[in-house]
Structures are given as structure tokens and as C-alpha cells.
Amino acid sequence: MRFLLSGYRFKVEYQQEDDGTFTGTLDAFDIAANAPTVEELKRELAKEAVEYANEYMEEFQLYFNVPNRKHHAPYVLNVLIQDDLAGVVGLLDA
């Protein structure tokens, strides 16, 4: 399964704020976070991705049938098959 989903990675776009923190988003999901460092930002975005993936699966019929969220399905599966949060962080390209 990992091989089939290996192309479903996330591009992280981020910027440093005036206060020195970093704000970033995941391109595949409508997720944003803020953290003191880029590494912590990636971890926060990964946590949010796991939360969204779980919600997506709990309400699969709803999410999968909404046109702007249908394409999230393979990304959701790739998040959920990771062994731990570090695996999800590994899917984030910053």
C-alpha cells in the first residue's frame, strides 16, 4: 500500500512572521499552523493532518462526495498508514 501511495506527499509553504515564528500550510489540505521553528511547524501540521484524516474517514461518505475534497482520499490514506507521527512528518516537503 505504501508504494501505491508514495506519490501523495505534502508541500509545506511557510513564512517567518514578524515575531520570529513560522506560519505554514499544507498544499493538499486546507490546514495551517504556527510554531516557533520550521521543524515544530512541520510537527504541528502533521498533527493537524492526522486529525483531518481521522475526521475524513469517520465521515467518509460526506467528504468523498464533496467535489473539492474527493481528491483528498489518497492523501488521507497515506497519512493513516504511517506508523507514527514521525512517519507523517516524513510526508511533508518544506
Pick the CATH number of 2-87 from 3.60.150.10, 3.90.1170.50, 3.30.160.620, 3.40.190.10: 3.30.160.620
**Where are the domains positioned within the chain?**
2-87
Q: Order of strands, edge to edge, in the sheet holding 10-16? A: 31-35, 22-26, 10-16, 92-93
Q: Which pLDDT tens digits describe the chain residue by residue (94 residues)?
A: 899 999 999 999 999 999 999 999 999 998 999 999 999 999 999 999 999 999 999 999 999 999 999 999 999 999 999 999 999 999 999 8
Asked if residue 57 lies in contact with residue 80, where contact means CB atoms within 8 angstroms, the answer is yes
pLDDT at 14: 98
